[in-house]
Amino acid sequence: MKTLILKHIGMDDFSHPMYKDQNGRLWKDLNMGRGNPDLYSVTGNDPDGEPLYPIKVEYRFAPAPYKENPYAFEYMMLDRMRMDCDYYLGYGRRSLSILGDDPQKHIEEMKKLWKKLPEDGKPEWLTWERILDYENQMKISFYAAECSEFHNLGDFWKDLTLEEAYERYKRIPSDRMNGIKSVGFTLHDGSDYDGLGCDILCDGVIARDMVENVPYFNDHPLVQQAINDIEKIMEKDKK
């Protein structure tokens, strides 16, 4: 029998590579492009037909068989995480559940996946700069201040995690005369409030009223999460 010449023509609905020989007959690779092709004919000679019989004649590929990209999973996950970021910043209205309740962890995972890809295989649809842009739009940092009203009076520490800010806050002696000590947040989200912040803890009291006075802060998921987290940290600290 004449050698069959197989040309890759696409994928079926279940990601099986499909080939067509010079006689118009279709063949499906059940190995899905991984390793050596495992070719079968299909019912009705339909790309989405069920596999029937394995190929039993000589064949060759023109020009070469389809091979799954070894980084297919990383590309798929990055694309999904990219779409989650877009939804979170858009129609998702910054609901933390979209990003697993931890935007920073979501970004760190994206960075790991991106770095894992080969230099000549970095996706054009998600540059490193774009990942950093997502990070900047989602970021919230914390500070501890000796004086909640005037941060330039006394000690002031910024760009901290919430846990770090609380530890700094606890170390400020209560008898300092510069003002009421506090823990607060600063947003870095690309909004009109970028770079601005607000106290969430003043001298042992959760400052919900201060947050509520600014609707953007009050409606911001990261701010509300911070208030919930500082309450948990304080409760744990009492035990």
- pLDDT mean for each 10 residues of the chain (239 residues): 91 93 96 92 94 95 90 93 91 82 88 95 94 84 91 88 92 79 88 88 93 91 89 88
Q: Are 210 and 199 in contact (CB under 8 A)?
A: yes
Return the pLDDT at 209.
Answer: 92
Are residue 81 and residue 41 in the same domain, yes or no? no
Domain span at 96: 72-126
Residue 46: the pLDDT is 94
Determine, yes or no, domain membership for 209: yes
Q: Is residue 134 part of a domain?
A: no
In a domain? residue 188: yes
One domain, residues 208 and 119: no
pLDDT of residue 177: 64
Tell me the sheet residues that pair with 26.
20
